[in-house]
Structure 1
Amino acid sequence: MEVDGMTGAAPVTRPAAPAGEPVHALLADGTTVSIRPTTPQDLDGLNAMFAALSPESVRMRFFASGAAAGRSAAERLCEPHPDRIALVVSVRRGEAEEIVGEGEAWRLRADADAAEVGFTVADRLRGRGIGTLLLEHLADAARALGIRTFVAETLSENLAMKRVIASAGLHHSATFEHGSTVFHEIDLTEDDAYLEVVADREFTGSAASLEPLFRPRGVAVVGVGRRPGGVGRAILDHLLAAEFDRPLFAVNPHADEIAGVPCARSIELLPDRIELAVLAVPPEALVEAAIACGRHGIRALTAVTSSVPKSVGTTLKAVCRRYGMRLVGPNGLGVASFGTDISMDATFGPHTPLGGTAGVGVQSGGVGIAILDHLSRLGIGAGSFASLGDKADVSGNDLLAWWARDPATELVLLHLESFGNPRKFARYARRVARTKPVLAVMAGRSAAGSRAAASHTSAAITPGITREALYRQAGVIATRSVAELVEAAALLRTGLLPTGRRVAVVSNAGGTGVLAADACAEAGLTVPEFSDALRERLSALLRPAAACGNPVDAGAGANGAALRDAVETVASSGEADAVLLLLVPTALAELSPTLAVDARTGAMPVVAVLVDQAAGVETVMGADGRFLPCYGDAETAVRALSHACDYAEWLRRPGGEVPQLPGVRSRDAARLVSLFLAAHPEGGWLPPDRAADLLACYGIRCARLVLAADEQTAVTAAAVWDGPVAMKAYWPELVHKSDVGGVLLGLSGPEEVRAGWRRLHERFGGQLAGVVVQEMAPDGIELLAGVDDDAVFGPLVAFGTGGTATDLAADRAYRLAPLTGADADELVHSTRAARMLAGFRGRPGGDVAAVRDALSRLALLAAEQTCVTEAEINPLIATPNGVTAADFRIRVEPRTQTDPYLRRLR
């Protein structure tokens, strides 16, 4: 991959960007590479790479021939320059690091937001994605310096460079000059289309890197005892019980064979075909074993060692990065994989799980055992399983990439106590959920649960409300227990989804039907009254005394045939989207839940309930071989059906794209924040006028204001606007101005303004840092819109009822920034404020589109201006003609900006 020799304007001096730490990323084939800024010590490595280039590659890169061009470029790259970004990509070859790619970008001139870009990839590694990876990381570093555009000059026959630019996902154009030279212009804006292309590449690399974990050519268990007992021996026994038919070795310095399995005295003596090593060694031996595996060429590790100190886990990850190994654990149960070509159970659970179609990822080994047992009992089984433990390396994001590319995986079950990159998780989960259901246990919903999860997994505490917002946006079906997770999975596994929330309840006992109808209402499902025509058809099928409304009570004497006919009649009526069939055993008729399976209902889900069933859910098979779940009570069945309805509704939502918002001035906003932090290095609350300016940069209309430092300024400001004004006390720490009498409304004329000024000064004295004089906002619906920067999840957007009673109303919903159009719409409609916006009790409503737009703009502000840690607009006044921010607070703090979507390993 070659670009021109950087033949642009002479560089000018600007403040240097801070040197970045090395990061690691995956190539398309799963190879781990390191990306870092160049240093003077890279001269020999760069010279070696340039010297190995073919003459044609040298000509493409430097528009010249001979070794001198490469030597000159190597020297240039190794000399720090304040106006150049220079990166190298390296891979490990044995114990040595080999530079296999370089890239640089020069700012064209002092006041330019464009830079000239060029890069090279070693001839022997072309076609593996190094060029696009370099371009992504160069673009990320350039954006941090305010560079918005790359330009590149190439020879017209440089097809490799054209492919890199075309496949990068960034908007670009090309112009020709003199027939042999092409000038490329690349817009560095990250839009949704670009992020999807980047996600595609990361899915490919992550899935390829997990191939040795879930489809290894051979497995070694390190730390196996010669006698039964112990974790290592249990894992070896499980591999044998699962009839793992690929090369299998134990590692024990005192044995040549254990349980009929050949044993190596050390890791170094293992055969080369071993790709996965299971480490069941004490914590103090873990790093040494991992180093030996890396030197031996093993590609994946799962560490089941428990009670591993954080420092050991950090070192263990560094070892895996150094040698390009993927790691599951430590502090996990192990991994398992089942398919037509493999049966591998490298766990130490009580039983070998049933192979099947579910992908299962957990942080808790105990939760993993429970889920696998349930899936085995229900006949669903697991296709792949990973107990992530402390998640030193492989995370839920990696597993999602594997399951997305695995056609055998039909549904995904997760138990995650922490998130390394929540915004990337949301994007990845959304992609997977479009093609297969993704379910998760909401671990750590309470404060006590969050503390326990953090202690359990060495992770940051993750508030339940942010986790719920994350799952909802991503289309993940959030459940509150393992039992609820499995109950929902049993229904979703059928692939039958309701097209709406209307439920027909059919039973042979009226009381159970009533309870089921109540459960539906509480779960947000409807039990509509049937039409007269449907009632008549049902009456003709059932005994004369049957109740044929909804619920349908067929009576204790109804047999299976009658109930089946009733279910089929309701299903074909168009008056329901799902059928809930409740069966109560009686001496008058022998009933089986298989009648729900055998009923001819097309694609409509029929959920059976057998009230004397001990288990919460079982699986029944009909005459045609179809499997359907049967539940033990109506509440459990309704809960599963409600999850299926939520998922079906999410699938019907418009595509999740972040809207392109006109009138956004991101650079002006960044400059405003930078100037404030330059004057206040520790950060703080923006003054009201600066906060209004920042909101205005994102097109959020604020009621006009002036922060007055003296009485005459207040009078002069009030005279600018026609009509009365509001006056508000201001000092940075003041939150609830109304609570302390710091708001005066409807002041008209100079005398009232002077009196208001004096009243506030008498009340607050030296506390006042100024008085806000503001035009009166229009009458309308008072809303709250805010952003809080969560330590784990990033900016969280809040919306609900506003005004002075906002805390009392407790009417708030949350989503993670940035918001897609569908996210913003759902955020508005998931609160009681939506009823007021629609018009309530004769009061005029509000402009819902304008509210959605304001929320999207606030979310974009938080996503782009990462130094904004807290923002609140309360009230945001909504009228039929738009919205106005009447009062607002914004806090900023110094922090390093990182791109959550940049391809890199944690």
Structure 2
Amino acid sequence: MTHTAHRTEKVHALLTDGRTVEIRPAGPEDRDQLLRLYEGMSAQNMRLRFFGVSRLSGPQATERACSGPRSGHCALIAVRDDQIVGIAEYEIGPDPGSAEIAFAVADAFHHCGAGTLLLEHLVHAARKDGITSFTADALSENHLVLKVFADLGLNTARRFAGTEVRCTIQLDPDEDYLAAVDERGRTADTASLQPLLRPRSIAVVGAGTKAGSVGRAVLKNIRDAGYPGRLFAVNPHAHAILRVPCYPTVTALPHPPDLAVLAVPAHVVPETAEQCGKSGVRALVVLTSGLDVHQSAGLLSACRRYGMRLVGPNCLGIANTEDEVRLDATFAAARPRTGSAGVAVQSGGVGIALLSGLARLGIGVSSFASLGDKYDVSANDLLQWWEGDGRTDLALLHVESFGNPRAFSRTARRVARRMPVLTVDAGRSAAGRRAAASHTAAAATPTMTRQALFRQAGITATRTIGELLDTAALLKSQPLPAGGRVAIVSNAGGAAVLAADACAEAGLTVPELPADLITELLRLLPEGASATNPVDATAAVGERELGDCIDLLTAHGAVDAVLVALVPTALAAATGDDLNRALTHAAPGRRSRTVAAVLLDQDERVRLLEAPAGGRVPAYADPQAAARALAYAADRARWLAQPAGSVPELIGTDPEAARALVGDFLTEHPEGGWLDPRGCAELLDCYGIPHLPYAWARNEQEAVDAADRLGGPGQRVALKAYWPGQVHKSDQGAVLLDLEGEPEVRAAHRDFTARFGDTMTGVLVQPMAERGIELVIGVVQDEVFGPLVLFGLGGTATDLLADHAARLAPLADRDTHELITALRCAPLLFGYRGAGPVDLEGIEQLLHRLSKMAGDLPQLVEADLNPVLARPDAVSALDVRIRLVPQQTHDPYLRRLR
């Protein structure tokens, strides 16, 4: 194995206490700083690091690390405030797959995760260098280092020899490692957000002296909300604004605030951020919009250099309604109502709408962040904050873009098991748009990719802000329905019909009720009622009768939810009955199933009816809003009921051979391109993906010989003309089927030659496959989301029917099951009208193997297996197209700030 001199990019990352460090390769320019690191270490730590104390140890280690890039060696340093606070390095020995490691951390940075963070980045660099294991020697008394290795999350073996211990660490990151990285990241992230969301002091920079300025509005909101910490204004033209002390510059403040809110012109944002950083400010909220490229770069550079977390720019602000904080650093007209919903949005207008809607419903917010252009703090950060803040039980997101969607997916998947996570699927394609191209890249729309992320992460993705609030009202007030069976109760037949139609359109079912339940219902209801479902309680139904009917339905196991559709009647008014009270009269916990109401006469789109004894029932003005909210709730219940799933271990794969094949191709084709059929088959073989036997023929005689060899007596063959860049063989007449005997094969080859001439570089010869269901299975590397695996009905029907589903790789076992069952054609796969099922296990295996291939090979930007023939006894790819381009490996789970 050949190792190159390794260089990694400079990144910033968080320590467990929330401070930011820069991680980068050590170079000759770092000699003096690194020597100071060693000179500043205590004698005890020097002894533990070098197994003794010698004045030569530090200089020798410094020279080794700072001698510049060389093959088989990598040294990474952590820098804070222009001082090196840690170093980790590896050196490859005689075994090219193993490297010796060592690391050291400044005394003042022990117990804050600096060593572990460096090791995570060292593991990433080593894996790119083909290294599969680390070895390290330590004194057996060096409990701190041994704990770092043990807690890393990788498989570590120890061998003791006297006073020393040799550790061997296998660099095969699995779910345990990713979970350990997740936990360290969550701890660091939430610590870094403390000065942002729980600041002890705040400065509003750019607070105006006249009404109407954004900065003045924010200052007023902070003051009026009762913020208990120290509050300052910064404006060179005033001594006080709104009775808040004012200073001319940030540097003139009596002490550095935790948080600075910037409402200054775009051209002074970078300079102001620099002043904040130098003064010791720990977090920024930048309200200013319209920053150009240079101003943006200056702002982010200052934040990274001084370790400040940043919300914005171009945002509405932030809020935290905790009693101890009472922070409203927004310029919204109304103060956020105290509650338990966490809200993160990119659009300020959407943020105002959600704050207003949650206040109207009485749900309120725990904390709110308008992320704006999202240079730093993202929805992922907020999810981790809400996960541990002890107050939030409902997360609402409006995210238009994703910086690291796979990391976001892991966080959201974890948080969604603890609380509902809702979003609006913003930026959807035009209504009714469907992919109309049979190759995978064209079929994989941005909408499909985003929805795959939401489904896998357990995020409830609604279509509109209204639907988001509708669903939030239901999830906040009612238990989840166990399924999609709904009983409809109404005092008006027309309202019941509307509700039934809405349920059917939302994917819910309105089943006929069992006979015993019908009998009980009719006994309770007025004469003339019917109870088959919908239950027509008639206009004569009274408050008590309606309440008893709802109680009976929620107690019976025939349905999962009850939808009550009511209209005001003169009969109820005459008797003094309030039918709405029938919805809320039950004591808390008495109704174990979901109840929702449709009140056709109410003005509000949705409201929560308060029960006298506690609890709430959502009431909607429109049956469709209620039905969609119930459907979203049922989807969440199904997601929670399924096991989390795991990525299966696959046998019979050879990633190293695949990487070599890709490397050879890209050496010959530096710009990338399409693999020829032989290369496609070899790559599939590396992952055990079944495909139809083939032979490559460069001329007519080779085609005849191949047909004789593959076909045999009575066996028909197919000929496929090939040339680089080919997309649709069938459309171009480049496929001839059912050829039998030498004359037909020769005639077919001559036909290709006459029509395609020198464009054709060869012919693929394959035996005719048996009949089966034609599928398309493919993968696309999305620059932001990573590999997307697409599955659907294949062959010539692909364009016409566009029956596709997609999930992001790596695929867990539940993902493959959902892919197969999500298609409209799924009944054909499971057996339809007497036909037996196809090889479902074979389909799942093919999906998993293609997913792994895409994960192992970032250079694989598109693979299109179409058709894949599925039969009861086997699954096989008949035609394959694979495109490769030069592309670097990117680890989406490596801890780093943007």
Mapped pair 1:746 → 2:738: yes
1:117 is aligned, of 101, 118, 122, to 101
Mapped pair 1:167 → 2:151: yes
2:254 is aligned, of 259, 263, 271, to 271
Q: Give the alignment's TM-score, normalised by structure 2.
A: 0.95
**Distance of 1:537 and 1:327 partners within structure 2:** 61
Residue of structure 1 in register with 2:205 after alignment: 222
Deviation, structure 1 residue 13: 7.3
Q: Specify the code of the residue in structure 2 equivalent to 1:829.
A: T
Deviation, structure 1 residue 462: 8.9
Residue of structure 2 in register with 1:505 after alignment: 488
Mapped pair 1:132 → 2:116: yes
Q: Specify the code of the residue in structure 2 equivalent to 1:692.
A: A
**Distance of 1:448 and 1:99 partners within structure 2:** 55
**Residues 550, 224 of structure 1: alpha-carbon distance in 2 compared, 3 angstrom cutoff:** same
Residue of structure 2 in register with 1:627 after alignment: 616
Output one character per residue of 1:550-572: Cα deviation in whole Å (capped at 9) or x when no partner.
11110111111111100110111
Mapped pair 1:108 → 2:93: yes
Mapped pair 1:711 → 2:696: no
How large is the RMSD of aligned CA atoms in angstroms? 1.9
5 Å-filtered alignment, 1:816-855, equals 816-855=808-847
5 Å-filtered alignment, 1:659-738, equals 659-721=648-710, 722=712, 723-738=715-730
After alignment, is 622-631 or 434-443 more displaced? 622-631
CA contact (8 A) 2:3 2:72 kept: no
Mapped pair 1:569 → 2:561: no
**Distance of 1:479 and 1:759 partners within structure 2:** 54
**Residues 172, 710 of structure 1: alpha-carbon distance in 2 compared, 3 angstrom cutoff:** farther
Q: Specify the code of the residue in structure 1 equivalent to 2:553.
A: V
Q: Give the alignment's TM-score, normalised by structure 1.
A: 0.94
Q: Unaligned 5+ residue runs, structure 1? A: 1-11, 451-460
Residue of structure 1 in register with 2:439 after alignment: none
Mapped pair 1:364 → 2:347: yes
Mapped pair 1:891 → 2:870: no
Output one character per residue of 1:421-458: Cα deviation in whole Å (capped at 9) or x when no partner.
111111111111010000001111126999xxxxxxxx
**Distance of 1:803 and 1:872 partners within structure 2:** 12
**Distance of 1:713 and 1:433 partners within structure 2:** 59
**Distance of 1:128 and 1:775 partners within structure 2:** 63
CA contact (8 A) 2:402 2:784 kept: yes
Q: Specify the code of the residue in structure 2 equivalent to 1:886.
A: L
Residue of structure 2 in register with 1:519 after alignment: 502
Residue of structure 2 in register with 1:474 after alignment: 457
Q: Specify the code of the residue in structure 1 equivalent to 2:680.
A: A
Residue of structure 2 in register with 1:156 after alignment: 140
**Distance of 2:844 and 2:585 partners within structure 1:** 46
CA contact (8 A) 1:14 1:82 kept: no
CA contact (8 A) 1:219 1:247 kept: yes
Mapped pair 1:550 → 2:537: no
- Aligned identity (percent) is 50
**Distance of 1:31 and 1:146 partners within structure 2:** 32
**Residues 592, 543 of structure 1: alpha-carbon distance in 2 compared, 3 angstrom cutoff:** closer
After alignment, is 369-378 or 155-164 more displaced? 155-164
2:636 is aligned, of 631, 640, 647, to 647
CA contact (8 A) 2:8 2:125 kept: no
Give the number of aligned pairs.
Answer: 879
Q: Specify the code of the residue in structure 2 equivalent to 1:80.
A: G
Could you say what secondary structure the match of 1:420 adopts? coil
Deviation, structure 1 residue 857: 1.6
After alignment, is 674-683 or 41-50 more displaced? 41-50
**Distance of 1:13 and 1:563 partners within structure 2:** 79
Could you say what secondary structure the match of 1:799 adopts? strand
5 Å-filtered alignment, 1:273-312, equals 274-312=257-295
Output one character per residue of 1:342-391: Cα deviation in whole Å (capped at 9) or x when no partner.
21111011211211111100100001000100011111111111111111
Residue of structure 2 in register with 1:596 after alignment: 583
Q: Specify the code of the residue in structure 2 equivalent to 1:771.
A: V
Deviation, structure 1 residue 750: 4.4
Q: Specify the code of the residue in structure 2 equivalent to 1:689.
A: R
Deviation, structure 1 residue 312: 1.3
Output one character per residue of 1:780-825: Cα deviation in whole Å (capped at 9) or x when no partner.
1110111122233222211110011211111011111221111111
Q: Specify the code of the residue in structure 1 equivalent to 2:287.
A: V
2:364 is aligned, of 381, 394, 402, to 381
Q: Specify the code of the residue in structure 1 equivalent to 2:835.
A: R
Deviation, structure 1 residue 511: 1.4
Deviation, structure 1 residue 242: 1.0
**Residues 184, 363 of structure 1: alpha-carbon distance in 2 compared, 3 angstrom cutoff:** same
Deviation, structure 1 residue 87: 3.3
Mapped pair 1:486 → 2:469: yes
**Distance of 2:294 and 2:656 partners within structure 1:** 40
**Distance of 2:580 and 2:59 partners within structure 1:** 78
Residue of structure 1 in register with 2:18 after alignment: 30
Q: Unaligned 5+ residue runs, structure 2? A: 434-443
**Distance of 1:850 and 1:158 partners within structure 2:** 51
Output one character per residue of 1:372-422: Cα deviation in whole Å (capped at 9) or x when no partner.
000111111111111111111111111111111112011111111111111
**Residues 774, 648 of structure 1: alpha-carbon distance in 2 compared, 3 angstrom cutoff:** same
Deviation, structure 1 residue 778: 3.4
Mapped pair 1:612 → 2:601: yes
Could you say what secondary structure the match of 1:514 adopts? helix
Deviation, structure 1 residue 676: 0.3
**Residues 424, 40 of structure 1: alpha-carbon distance in 2 compared, 3 angstrom cutoff:** same
Residue of structure 2 in register with 1:794 after alignment: 786
Deviation, structure 1 residue 592: 4.3
Deviation, structure 1 residue 730: 0.5
**Distance of 2:474 and 2:136 partners within structure 1:** 54
Output one character per residue of 1:733-786: Cα deviation in whole Å (capped at 9) or x when no partner.
211111222112233444443333223222211110111122333321110111
**Distance of 2:886 and 2:385 partners within structure 1:** 37
Deviation, structure 1 residue 126: 1.1
**Distance of 1:67 and 1:809 partners within structure 2:** 75
**Residues 154, 495 of structure 1: alpha-carbon distance in 2 compared, 3 angstrom cutoff:** farther
Output one character per residue of 1:52-92: Cα deviation in whole Å (capped at 9) or x when no partner.
22233223222332121111010000012433343333343
5 Å-filtered alignment, 1:167-206, equals 167-176=151-160, 178-206=161-189
Deviation, structure 1 residue 272: 2.5
